[in-house]
Structure 1
Amino acid sequence: MTNKGEINLNIGIDKIGFYTPHTFIDMVKLAEARGVDPAKYTIGIGQEKMAVSPVTQDAVTLAANAALRILDEEDLEKIDLVVFGTESGIDSSKAAAVYVHDLLGIQSRARSIEIKQACYGATAGIQLAKGHIALHPESRVLVLGSDISRYGLNTPGEVTQGAGAVAMVISADPRILSLGDQSAYLTNDVMDFWRPTYSDTAYVDGKFSNEQYISFFLNTWKQFKSQTDLSIKDFEAMCFHLPYTKMGMKAMREIFVEGTSEDEERLTRHYKNSTLYNKTVGNIYTGSLYLSLISLLEQDETLKPGDRIGLFSYGSGAVGEFFTGILQPEYKEALAEAEHAKLFAEREEVSIEEYEEIFSEVLPVDGSNLQLTIENDPAMICVAGIEEHKRIYVNKNR
């Protein structure tokens, strides 16, 4: 018999990896180019670098490259559900998951779907995956969160752009994080962030969005406590959706009054480690919470098996969810830390002028054919062009 709020069936994250484009800009240099005090970017919102996605990468290729780094032949045979969370989808009909399914060579007896709800999509995928694994314990589910955040050059939201993807294998008896049965979630129709189908950039009411984020966190946190016997003292760390790295702290500090000074110190210390990757990549929408989790697990040396981690997911518009996970005995061995360190080390800084050129190079929207040069993109999977209204993808391994 399990206690209230504890895990009945051991389902969770068995593998987790991410990918980000090979080019980035320095936020101090962006601030200087925009005539802004650099501290507004580096301290005010907590960003140091921002990934810049070339035209040879889109949400599909970013996700496929993230998954390519963690999947083995056994995964390709056992995965029978692919769930792709994104708000940067490339087709209004065909799911991005179908492209990734083919690019990775996953066995054909699988469901492949796309989920959209702003930055919440990957979390929805995880919850769907849990139900699937509960019914089919031998199966594995690939959950993807992939996005390119675009607000436009010289716009207020420019500093919170970014690009990247996170891939997760959800399974029974996971090696990294066992997910709890209890979740608290909330939906409310608010216009804090949206992107109409006719626009390739998003619209955002920044101040209102920050307020809604905090409100949703406090609401779901209160719900979660009412569902379980857990309180702030029971959490070793908390990870947040991070549109920018100061946002999660704005929410978390609201509950510090519920604990001791030791609770505040512990959660703050872990939080800083959870932001290290995000502050050098930027906002990746659906993957941001899980990039924060990767950063925490790979950069924090004081975590240990059995620690409980809180996870807050927020997708503007809006849907929020608070849930938990327990670190497993072999979680460190199951991480792709060396791969991620290599990925960061091999990135190249581009000038602000080069960034503006890259940002302005987009795929045609009038149906024109296009052939792209992919030799300069070190990614294994790339967009090679457009033919007869169809994007052409290349896996260089094939």
Structure 2
Amino acid sequence: MKKTIVGIDKIGFYVPQQYLAMEDLSDARHVALEKFTVGIGQDKMAVPEIYEDIVTMGANAAEQILSDQDKQDIDQIIFATESSFDLSKSAASYIHDLLEIQPFARSFEMKQACYSATAALQMAKDYVLLHPEAKVLVISSDISRYGLDSSGEVTQGAGALAFLVKAQPTILAIDDTNLAMTKSHYDFWRPIYMDKALVKGQYSTGIFLEFYQALLAEFQQRYPGVVEQSKAFLFHMPFTKIAQKALKLAQGMVSLDRVQEWTSHLETATLINRQVGNIYTGSLYMSLLSLLINDEKLDAGDKIAMFSYGSGAVAELFILEIQANFDMQVDSNLIIKMLENRKALSIADYERIYQTRLPQDGSDFLGKPEANYHGFYIKDIHNHQRTYGYQ
């Protein structure tokens, strides 16, 4: 009996249509530009408008990839985020409505800091293994906020990815070998009464690297030789420089040739991240997308090791395998055009947008997108209910 292979059949991506350049941020904050572009590894950060939220971004990412038949076949929607605006109603329920998915579908939201998109993909994979005819829509969507002139300001961002998970995928297969790890930490958290995250930056980086070393060592014991077969090694990237820090720790744990091979793919795997910033649950998968559309050395059958991390803290190491004709299945032109056509913001405009908030007291809101905006948007908020439109 032929083994059922499950993985990612389609990938959609959305980023807000405006950004702030690190040159402007460094000038305004009186910080040397190299601290941002080299020390952090960031060139631009995406800035969402007031009428954009995790639902609009997620719907915009998913709309690109779903056919009418997909909408009839999808029977599960999993929305991964740490930017939720409702403690009861899931963002997935809005997606189900906006994309007109057939009614007999399960829809829910998942949270565990930046890790939950990985949990969603693994859950989707397990579901399809049990139901080989099923399709699962996984969405990762987040808005990263740390505060104006804060130490984390440079690592803000916003964006969404959408994945269609099914049997016999055309882009990536999710391997059965994986290993997760959990240990309670206060390295990054956001209490319910706060709109900005609390973070212990250096401490969080240390926990990230500690988890990486521990998982890599244990993974090698449980699955000897598997990780060494990977052509690239990708990481959750709250800032792109952290991937370089992690790979240095792999020296002595795997062969030097393998570490050098992994390092050679880092530049292509960070290109999009450097242009967008931190998108929490989607940062690892934005790096994956960057690798797929920019790296010309990838071939069908190549394996990619993935290190997923979410503060609090949970991490997982797993393996993906590239499928035949994968490069024909990802719309690289659309993604490149989306990034290139964004509008540059001045510091004044960025700070104005940042300080403009949706009502926090239950009052009404009317969304008025600019004429050149294309996609889903918050149409209004009335009686504590969000209504979405499309332009």
| C-alpha distance in structure 1 between counterparts of 2:166 and 2:248, whole Å | 33
Tell me the secondary structure at the aligned position of residue 74 of structure 1: helix
Structure 1 residues 380-389 or 41-50, which shifts more? 380-389
Please say if residues 16 and 167 of structure 1, whose CA atoms lie closer than 8 Å, have aligned partners that are also in contact: yes
Counterparts of 2:295 and 2:179 in 1: how far apart (Å)?
Answer: 27
Does the 8 A contact of 2:367 with 2:377 survive in 1? no
Report the Cα distance in structure 1 between the residues aligned to 2:251 and 2:62, rounded to whole angstroms: 37
Shift of the 220–260 alpha-carbon distance from structure 1 to 2, 3 Å rule, reads closer
Where structure 1 has 5 or more consecutive residues not aligned to the other structure, the ranges are 3-7
Spell out the pairing of 1:354-369 with structure 2 (5 A cutoff).
354-369=349-364
Q: Secondary structure at the match of 2:11?
A: strand
1:114 CA displacement: 0.1
- DSSP 3-state at the match of 1:266: helix
Tell me, in whole angstroms, the C-alpha distance in 1 between the residues paired with 2:273 and 2:106: 31
Greater shift in the superposed pair: 10-19 or 214-223: 214-223
Residue number in structure 2 paired with 1:97: 92
Structure 1 partner of 2:75: 80
Indicate the residue corresponding to 1:136 in structure 2.
131
User: In percent, how many aligned pairs have the same letter?
Assistant: 45
Q: Does 1:337 align with 2:332?
A: yes
Deviation per CA, 1:312-363, whole angstroms, max 9, x where unpaired?
1000001000000110012111112111012112101010110000111110
- How much has 1:376 moved relative to structure 2? 3.8
RMSD between aligned alpha carbons? 1.3
* Per-residue Cα deviation, 1:44-84 (whole angstroms, up to 9, x for no partner): 01000000011010011111101111111121111110000
Aligned partner (choices 223, 230, 244) of residue 228 of structure 1: 223
The question of whether the paired residues in 1 share the 8 Å contact of 2:364 and 2:380 is answered with yes
Q: CA deviation at 1:395?
A: 2.5
* Contact 1:117–1:315 (Cα < 8 Å) also in 2: yes
Q: Which amino acid aligns with 1:126?
A: L
Residue number among 29, 42, 53 corresponding to 2:48 in the alignment? 53
Whole-angstrom CA distance in 2 between matches of 1:59 and 1:233: 36
Displacement of 1:230: 2.1
Contact 1:103 1:395 in 2 (8 A): no
Aligned to 2:271: 276
Output the CA distance in 1 between the equivalents of 2:352 and 2:107. 35
Matches within 5 A, 1:163-312: 163-312=158-307
> In the TM superposition, what is the alpha-carbon distance from 1:182 to its structure 2 partner?
1.4
**1:262 Cα deviation (Å)?**
2.8
Paired with 1:9 and 1:248, the residues of 2 have a C-alpha distance of 32
Are 2:247 and 2:259, in contact at CA under 8 Å, matched by a contact in 1?
no
How many angstroms apart in 2 are the aligned matches of 1:347 and 1:103? 24
Deviation of 1:231 after TM superposition, in Å, equals 4.9
Q: Give the distance between the partners of 1:176 and 1:312, measured in 2 at CA.
A: 19
Unaligned ranges ≥5, structure 2: none
Q: For 2:117, which of 96, 119, 122 is the aligned residue?
A: 122
The question of whether the paired residues in 2 share the 8 Å contact of 1:130 and 1:170 is answered with: yes
Deviations 1:226-249 (A, max 9, x none): 221325531100111110001122
Is the CA contact (8 Å cut-off) linking 2:15 and 2:46 kept in structure 1?
A: yes
Describe the SS at the equivalent of 1:24.
strand
Aligned residues: 391
The residue number in structure 2 matching 1:326 is 321
Measure the CA separation in 2 of the matches of 1:113 and 1:130. Answer: 16
Cα deviation digits, residues 122-169 of structure 1 (max 9, x gap): 111001101110111011101111000000101011000000001111
Equivalent-residue separation in structure 1 for 2:144 and 2:322 (angstroms) = 30
TM-score (norm: length of structure 2): 0.98
Residue 258 of structure 1: SS of its match in structure 2?
coil
State the distance in 2 between where 1:379 and 1:201 align.
Answer: 28
Select between 44-53 and 262-271 the one with higher mean Cα deviation. 262-271
* One-letter code aligned to 1:390: Q
C-alpha distance in 2 between matches for 1:266 and 1:393: 46
Q: Is the 8 A contact 1:232 1:258 kept in 2?
A: no
Matched residues in 2 for 1:44 and 1:345: separation? 24
Name the TM-score, length of structure 1 as normaliser. 0.96
CA contact (8 A) 2:4 2:132 kept: no
